[in-house]
């Protein structure tokens, strides 16, 4: 497949958060004025570097993530949005992540007028004790007020992020959060399991994950949301009315994406690379973790990320896309996975069973062991 035929996503990392949550591994800083100005200066230079490529290749999706882009002022958001204007005729979806404590109606109007089509709000939980446990400062009232503002500003595509803890004593606590989110009726819900490995020591000490309970929380979540009309299309993602996140689908289908901003990752022109973490000088530090991608590697990643989606992956299409990769070499692995009840195969379309989806990271490790140069 020619590179021109691949769809291209643009990711902009906005590394600022008013409050730094204990469980978060993303690169972020507090939004001190001088740092924000240094960031905008560097983004502008990086934008100039990529501008001609981005306009020639027609960007299909834009995603402002973080950090929390809503911690920028109206004026700074306007500056970032202005850069995107030249790309808009081709863009099918433009998402901006916001937090309930830093968003307001004025900022949402700037985003709407700038051309943003989708808002993703990290709420994690509606319950005060869980929010305190997570180190989040927001209140339930702030979440409801922010949600109203998003609708008032005219957005009809909203995602809410929720977090569940594998150590929750029973489903009821989690069910309360799910129900409250469903009651708001967003078009999309993402649910993440809080991994104890990601927590700082005071949270983690003396705790271990009960894997059966974690699996049961996943399965019940999938059922619960499906029963409320949210189609489960990826391990952690659910959409109503065809509102699956196009930007993430582009990534999971191993198309191409360019990441701007500190720590942002790119997959472009058969290379995968990252920017350094440094607001003052990520650009001058150049690419880090740069990796040339062979057809074998891209093909393996297509299978791994394809299996995270309910639609799975078509092995015939994959072989056509990567003629120099040997898709047939995995046949013994599919046989073994089928015997273990982890995958189904119909007309060469490989999909995970529920059990396979629960173990999808272990499946990925097995798949990678078939790729010599990874
Ligand atoms: S607001 Fe989001 S990005 Fe910022 S520290 Fe918390 S979880 Fe991480």
| Residues within 6 Å of ligand 1 by CB | 17, 20-21, 24, 26, 28, 66-68, 99, 122
- Reply yes or no on whether the pLDDT at 325 is more than 50: yes
Section 191-195 average pLDDT: 83
Tell me whether residue 167 is in a domain: yes
Q: Is residue 261 included in any domain, yes or no? A: no
160 close to 184: Cβ distance less than 8 angstroms? yes
* Mean pLDDT to the nearest integer, 46-68: 92
Q: Judge whether residue 3 has pLDDT over 90.
A: no
Locate the ligand 1 atom nearest the alpha carbon of residue 20 and give its number: 5
**63 alpha-carbon distance from chain centroid:** 9
Do 83 and 194 lie in one domain? The reply is: yes
Pair (45, 164) in one structural domain: yes
Structural domain of residue 369, as residue ranges?
Answer: 295-374
Query: Cα–Cα distance between 96 and 337 in angstroms, integer?
Result: 38
More confident residue, 211 or 125: 125
Q: Whose CA is nearest to atom 8 of ligand 1?
A: 24
CATH code at 8?
3.20.20.70
Does residue 313 contact residue 299 with C-beta atoms inside 8 Å?
Answer: no
pTM summary value? 0.93
Is the domain of 232 the same as that of 332? Answer: no
Domain boundary among 250, 280, 309: 250
What average pLDDT does this structure show over 29-45?
93
Q: pLDDT tens for residues 61-76?
A: 999 999 999 999 999 9
Give me the chain's average pLDDT, please. 91
214: confidence class by pLDDT, cuts 50, 70, 90: confident
Residue 201's pLDDT is 42
How many whole angstroms from 24 Cα to the centroid of ligand 1? Answer: 6
CA dist 26 → 13, 70, 199 (Å): 10, 16, 13
- Mean pLDDT within 317-335: 96
Mark whether 57 and 112 lie in a shared domain. yes
Decide if 71 is inside a domain. yes
Show which of 233, 250, 267 is a domain's final residue. 250
User: Measuring from atom 7 of ligand 1, which residue has the nearest CA?
Assistant: 24
Q: 3-class DSSP state for residue 145?
A: helix
CATH of the domain at 360: 1.10.10.920
Determine the atom of ligand 1 nearest the C-alpha atom of 23: 7
Residue among 21, 135, 161, 192 whose CB has most ligand 1 atoms within 8 A, to mutate: 21
Q: Are 91 and 171 part of one and the same domain? A: yes
Q: Do 144 and 222 share a domain, yes or no?
A: yes
Residue 330 included in any domain: yes
What is the rounded distance in angstroms from the CA atom of residue 183 to the CA atom of residue 188? Answer: 12
Split into its structural domains, the chain has a count of: 2
| Ligand 1 geometric centre to CA of 309 (Å) | 25
- CA 209–ligand 1 middle distance (angstroms): 23
pLDDT of residue 194: 81
Asked whether the predicted pLDDT for residue 264 surpasses 90, the reply is: yes
Query: Is residue 264 a part of any domain in this protein?
Result: no
Q: Do 353 and 232 sit in the same domain of this protein?
A: no
Q: Is residue 356 within 8 Å of residue 218, measured between CB atoms?
A: no
Rounded distance between C-alpha atoms, residue 185 and residue 187, angstroms: 7
Name the closest-CA residue to atom 3, ligand 1: 67
Distance 292 CA to ligand 1 centre (A): 31
Same domain as 299, residue 245: no
């Amino acid at each position: 497949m020619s590179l021109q035929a691949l769809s291209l996503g643009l990711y902009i990392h906005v590394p600022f958060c008013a409050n730094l949550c204990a469980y978060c591994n993303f690169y972020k800083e507090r939004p001190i004025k001088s740092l924000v100005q240094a960031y905008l200066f560097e983004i502008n230079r990086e934008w100039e570097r990529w501008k001609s490529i981005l306009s020639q290749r027609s960007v299909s999706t834009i995603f402002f993530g973080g950090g929390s882009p809503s911690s920028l002022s109206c004026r700074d958001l306007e500056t970032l949005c202005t850069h995107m204007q030249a790309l808009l005729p081709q863009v099918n979806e433009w998402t901006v992540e916001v937090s309930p404590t830093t968003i307001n109606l004025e900022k949402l109007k700037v985003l709407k007028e700038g051309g943003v089509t989708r808002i993703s709000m990290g709420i994690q939980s509606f319950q005060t004790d869980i929010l305190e446990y997570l180190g989040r400062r927001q209140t339930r009232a702030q979440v409801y007020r922010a949600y109203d503002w998003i609708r008032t500003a005219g957005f009809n595509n909203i995602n809410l992020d929720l977090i569940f803890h594998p150590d929750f004593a029973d489903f009821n606590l989690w069910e309360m959060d799910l129900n409250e989110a469903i009651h708001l009726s967003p078009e999309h819900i993402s649910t993440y399991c809080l991994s104890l490995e990601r927590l700082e020591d005071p949270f983690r000490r003396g705790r271990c994950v009960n894997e059966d309970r974690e699996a049961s929380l996943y399965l019940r979540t999938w059922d619960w949301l499906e029963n409320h009309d949210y189609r489960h299309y990826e391990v952690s993602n659910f959409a109503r009315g065809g509102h699956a996140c196009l930007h993430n689908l582009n990534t999971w289908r191993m198309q191409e994406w360019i990441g701007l901003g500190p720590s942002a990752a790119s997959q472009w022109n058969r290379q995968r690379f990252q920017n350094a973490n440094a607001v003052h000088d990520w650009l001058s530090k150049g690419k880090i973790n740069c990796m040339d991608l062979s057809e074998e590697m891209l093909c393996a990643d297509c299978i791994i990320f394809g299996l995270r989606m309910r639609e799975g992956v078509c092995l015939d299409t994959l072989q056509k896309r990567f003629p120099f990769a040997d898709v047939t070499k995995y046949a013994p692995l599919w046989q073994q996975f089928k015997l273990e009840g982890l995958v189904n195969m119909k007309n060469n379309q490989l999909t995970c069973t529920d059990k396979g989806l629960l173990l999808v990271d272990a499946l990925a490790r097995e798949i990678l062991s078939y790729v010599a140069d990874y």
